[in-house]
Structures are given as structure tokens and as C-alpha cells.
Structure 1
Amino acid sequence: MKWLSELKSHLKKTGEFWVDKAYDRYHVVTDAERGAIIRKKQLLQDRKAEIVKSIVNGRLTGIQEFKDEKKVNYISHLKWLIKQKNYFYVEEHLEERQAIFENGKLIMDRIKIKETPGNDGDSNSPKLVSRRAKGFKYNRLKAVKYADQWWDSFNPEFQGFDVDCTNYVSQCIFAGGAPMKGKYNKSSGWWYEGKSWSYSWTVANAFRLYLNHVNNHLGAVAVEKPEQLVPGDVICYDFQGDGKWDHTTFVTEKDAYGMPLVNAHTTNSRHRYWSYEDSTAWTANIKYKFYHFED
């Protein structure tokens, strides 16, 4: 099958691109993704970091055929070994992609699920229930362990969503021992049970609004700089800078200069640099909020 051979070759060259600047395989991707790739390379340079090894694997999930056109859906697993000073770490992304072929020739390879924001449910500010829960001591180790266990899949004990970023982060915090509050009013507190949950559990804007209240029961405190965060903390993103918060990530590691590396869902990522300049959703108007959980 000519198309399959070409797709395999394409994935192999994708991996080679990140360690060989001379090769440009990105003529088949969208302008938005090409811009994100350029920003990622510049960001690596600015951070005095380099990708020393890159591996890309693909897993077919479906094929659609229309006369001379074939649409091939697949999961791309990108894995980079990054060196920064004398420190090495692995960054990973899972992407749902679609390769489009005409007469067996690859003409387009695009991300199926965009990193542009979307939410499950209402984004209204949830009502607070109480101040920080008494006797609650946040276990960062357990929270980060959970984040690394489930970064690339869904825990079957919870509902999964196409836009799953905040749901995933809420699960990580809960795994660290954070108690739920406010059942069973969806507009109240922060909670999950069965097939019901608060907006703050799953919706990026509602979650950020909840954390921003000084008396949120989770004990989250806004800090000014990303380097003030430690593993187990949270970053919120307003990609358009319009006051509507679109995305949430969970800090799982720090780089050689003490900057956060994050895990996330929607485009599933592990140890991604916190600023998200390599996202197709990034804009020059982006705003961030950094939340530290008191121990």
C-alpha cells in the first residue's frame, strides 16, 4: 500500500526533523501548526535547550475513502529527549491526527482535535462553600504520580471528555488528597460523583474563578511568577486574552532553570514547557494565572 509506506516515511522524517534543521517536512501541515513548530524551536533556543533524540510513532484508528481521496486517522506519539545544561528530560505529546492522501500521495497532515478552547458545561463562577478544608494536607507526591500515570489515557473511574484538561487537573488534585465540597449543586464548590460534577471540576473558566477566590477550600494561592510554582501546582490559560479562561495544566517537573514543566489533557502532553507557545491555540494576547497549593 503506497499510502501506508508514505505515512511511515512521513512519521520517520518527522522525528528526524527535530534533530536535523536542514530537513523541512512541514509543507503538508496547516499554517497554524507550522507557526507553533517555529515557536517551539525558537523557545528551545531561548531556553538554551536542544532536542538530542526524537521518536515519532503512529497508530491507525480509522480510514475513510472517497474516490481518489483517502483520509487516514491516527494517533501520533511524539517523544523528545531534551538536554538543558547538564539536565536531561523527556517531553511527550499524543495527538489525534488525520493524514489526507490523493492518489496515494500525502497532501495534508493535520491535528484532528484542536487545542483551541472548548468546555464541558457552563462556565459561570461557582458558589463557594467554605474556607480551606480543615485537616487537609496536600500530598504533592501522590498528585504528581497520578498525573504521570494518566497523562496519556483516561481513568475509567471518571468521565472523559474531548476537552478534558480541567477534568484531568481536578483528578490530579483529588489524588493528592483534596476533599470535595458542594455536592450536588453543579454551580457550587468543587466535586465529582458518578455522572454528575460541578462546573469547576470540568470547565477551565469556572475552575480558574474558583481558585481565584481567597477562601477557596483547596487552599490555592495566586503567585506572580511561574518559577514560584512547584510540582503539584496549577497554571490557567486565557489564550485570546479576552477574560475567558480556556485551558488548565498541572505542574509535574521543573527544568534546569527552575521553570515549570506541565502535564495536560486534550492534546495529551507530559513535561511540556509551561508557556504553551508551541500550541496552535497560542496568541500574542495570552494571559496566565499561576496557583500554588499551600502544604
Structure 2
Amino acid sequence: MEKLKDIWLEFYQSERETADWWERKKVLCEERDAKIVRIKGDGHIFQKIRFANDVSYRYLLHVSFFIKQMDRFYIEEDVTPYTFRLVDGEIRDHKRLVAKSESSNNQSLVMDELQSDSVANDRFTYNRHDAVQYAERWWNSYNPAYRKFDVDCTNYVSQCLHAGGAPMRGAPVREKGWWYQGDNWSFSWAVAHSLRWYLSGSTQGLKGKEVESASELIPGDVICYDFQGDGRWDHNTIVVTKDELGMPLVNAHTDNSRNRYWSYEDSTAYTTDIKYKFFRIGE
């Protein structure tokens, strides 16, 4: 096990030093008057497959960044899946595992549902503390009351919103409302693109008010990401706290992360065409 730990940490270090995302992360810290003062990593093998003299491993690398920003210290955490093969003792094909992207061709159906929402204007009391507490409890694990998705970011954010008191509605029609029920769920519950549009248009139950900048968000709010800038929304996060400059730090699933800077400029999915949507929840 110690040998394998050395393998994944050495690989992470070599990948980091040559990766664009690492350079972007360092620049991002400098722009925020922040500095990474220590990095700690560990791994956990979750799959081992042996075939003759070829052994394939899949593991989760948990990296903690100890960050100092002005007079404040905080820990950012990231858990990323990797894979490699050992063939006659030689490491081959060591790389990140990339989750399959979410897909939904139901944008028009969701938009039709949003138009029907206009007949009502129900309010709910959003408990931001409970939403953030849930986000912290489950950022790197999975509530057995819900299904775990390969691309789990929106499912996780939806669970956080529901923990904060957001009411479900629309079951059992998947194109309607926002809900999770047994072994079924709405598109808006689990698909990033659908939740983005639902938050934009819902006028009853769960709803969001779009604001202009990330600085206007507070813990419990939601950020949506279109990494390619092509109109297909790929990812969602929940704000859990703010840094010393008043900017959001977020939690997320898929590549599980905690206290990550909101802009995702240090993500391997980041492009210069990225677009964001910022939603105040419950307003």
C-alpha cells in the first residue's frame, strides 16, 4: 500500500508541475492575495482488476490545499479519480478518470413547464444554514437516501437545496417541476442544464433570482457553469462561505471539492469561453 501511495503522489506532483490548471491556480491565488502554503495528499483504491500479469487500479486522490489569504487560513479540498495499470511491475496508462457528461434534450419541455409556473407565486422559507450544513456533511460522500450519479453535481446541489427547505413539486412527470421520488426524479433535479433553466423561470416553490456578479451571492446560493460557452450548461455548485475579499467559495460533486474558489479557473474543464449564472435562492 505504501508503494502505491508513493506512485499516486509522485504522479500527481509530476502532473501538477506541467499542467495548465496548476499555473492558473497559482495565478488565481496571487490575484486574491492568497498563497498555497502546504499541500497534503492521500489515496484510496476503490477498484482492482487482475488479468494474468496485468493489474488495473482505480483510486481516488484526496488533496488538501492549506491556503493563507491575508490573515486567514482555510483548507480547500479536492477528490479526483485516477486509473493506472501495472504490467510486469511497470506503470502504464496513468491518467485521470473523466466522468461521462450529463445529457438532456429536454430543454424545450422544461421551458414549457416554466411557463405554466407563472400562474402561481408561492414562497418558502429557505434555511441557508441547513443547506450549507448538508453541503459540508456530504461533500465527499453520498447520502444513501438518494441515488449516486456518475455526474453527480446537480443531484448534490439539489439535495442541499432540499435540505434548506426547498419544496419538491411536479412528480411523477420528469419534465415538470423539481423533485426526487423513490427511483425517479425530474430532469431539473439531476441535470445541470435543466436546473439552470428551472432556476431562471420558476415562480413557485424552488426559485432563484439571477444577479450580476458572484460577489452578490451568499452561502446557500447556486452558481451554474457553461464551460465551453456553447449554451449547454455543464456544472452546478453551492456557495458555502466567502473569502477575505467577499468572493464565494463553493462545494461540488463529480470531482468532489470543498471550499473551492467559485470561478473554476483551476479546473481541467475550464476554457476562456466559460459562462456563469449566479442565483440567489428563495428570492
Same fold (TM over 0.5): yes
Task: Return the letter of the residue paired with 1:88.
Answer: F
Task: Return the letter of the residue paired with 1:212.
Answer: S
Q: Contact between 1:222 and 1:290, CA under 8 Å: does it hold in 2?
A: yes
Change (3 A) 1:231 1:59: same
Q: Contact between 1:241 and 1:285, CA under 8 Å: does it hold in 2?
A: yes
Aligned to 1:22: none
Please provide the CA RMSD for this pair. Answer: 2.3
Q: After TM superposition, list the pairs within 5 Å mapping 1:191-206 onto structure 2.
A: 191-206=179-194
Aligned to 1:271: 259
Identity across matched positions, percent:
44
Deviation (angstroms), 1:102: 4.6
Given the alignment, which residue of 207, 217, 220 partners 1:229? 217
Structure 1 segments unaligned to the other structure (5+ residues): 18-24
Change (3 A) 1:46 1:13: farther
Q: After TM superposition, list the pairs within 5 Å mapping 1:246-257 onto structure 2.
A: 246-257=234-245
Structure 2 residue 247 is the aligned partner of structure 1 residue 259 = yes
Q: Contact between 1:183 and 1:189, CA under 8 Å: does it hold in 2?
A: yes
Instruction: Return 272-281 or 209-218, whichever deviates more.
Output: 209-218
Given the alignment, which residue of 90, 94, 100 partners 2:75? 90
Given the alignment, which residue of 39, 52, 55 partners 2:40? 55
Aligned to 1:180: 168
Aligned to 1:138: 126
* SS at structure 2 position matched to 1:43: helix
TM-score by length of 2: 0.89
Q: Contact between 2:64 and 2:76, CA under 8 Å: does it hold in 1?
A: yes
Deviation (angstroms), 1:109: 3.0
Given the alignment, which residue of 124, 132, 142 partners 2:107? 124
2 CA distance for matches of 1:52 and 1:14? 20
Task: Return the letter of the residue paired with 2:48.
Answer: I
Structure 2 segments unaligned to the other structure (5+ residues): none
TM-score by length of 1: 0.86
Equivalent residue pairs, number: 277
Q: Contact between 1:180 and 1:192, CA under 8 Å: does it hold in 2?
A: yes
1:142-195 CA-to-partner distances (Å, cap 9, x unmatched) read 000000001111111111100011111011000000111212211111111101
Q: Contact between 1:113 and 1:267, CA under 8 Å: does it hold in 2?
A: no
Change (3 A) 1:109 1:278: farther
